[in-house]
Amino acid sequence: MKLYPLMLFLHVTADILIFVGLGVQLFCLAGLRRAQTVEQVRALVPLIRLSDPLGITGGLLVILSGLYMSLTVWDLRQGWIATALGSLILFLPPLIGAIIEPRTRAIVRHAAGAVPGPLPPELRARLHDPLLATALQTAAAVVLGIVFLMTNKPALAGSVAAMGVFVVLGVVSGLPHWRAVRLAVQPRPAPSEHSDKR
């Protein structure tokens, strides 16, 4: 029981680390999508690399400290605890491990091998990948939902409903990225032969 205050401190600190890691990645992505040259992309690469250890360390601390508090003070059968732990396992590994990490590594790799100057088409396409942006925003929404469960401690039905709302909000927040890509690839109408003739 004496370790509980320390575990609670580590748990909250770990949440902050996760938010900082995701925040750095979202900040970098916003900057990368505005980049016009390879040099501008390379300037953000160190921040991208910094976000990985922050997120991984935060995730491990959240799990370890959360399990300790659940087993010693709370109960894993509590609705909000089960939902938070299930969401952590169900959503974050696929989002981060299968979508975010491979795509950010590919950006770093292509930026390192690109010739300085204007962005090559392949690198530009990776920077504007709507799936990467949607996954980042959904991961941030999931973590925010877990914090909501930790602070409000609803019953199981309320916890599941709340996490569903946060996941939907995360996915919906990524829709503008898909629309922007769709508009970018739409062919522009050819100018009329009789337009602007003087």
Sorted by where each begins, the domain ranges of the chain are 4-185
Per DSSP, the residues of 85-145 read HHHHHHTHIIIIIIIIHHHHHHHHHHHHHSPSSBPPHHHHHHHT-HHHHHHHHHHHHHHHH
CA gap 160, 6 in Å, rounded: 28
The answer to whether 41 touches 32, Cβ cutoff 8 Å, is: yes
Identity of the residue numbered 59:
G
Q: How confident is the model at residue 187 (pLDDT cuts 50, 70, 90)?
A: very low
- Model pLDDT for residues 104-130, shown as the tens digit of each residue: 999 989 988 888 999 898 999 999 999
CA gap 8, 150 in Å, rounded: 11
Q: How confident is the model at residue 198 (pLDDT cuts 50, 70, 90)?
A: very low
As a whole number, the mean pLDDT across the chain is 85
CA gap 138, 166 in Å, rounded: 8
- In this prediction the pTM is 0.82
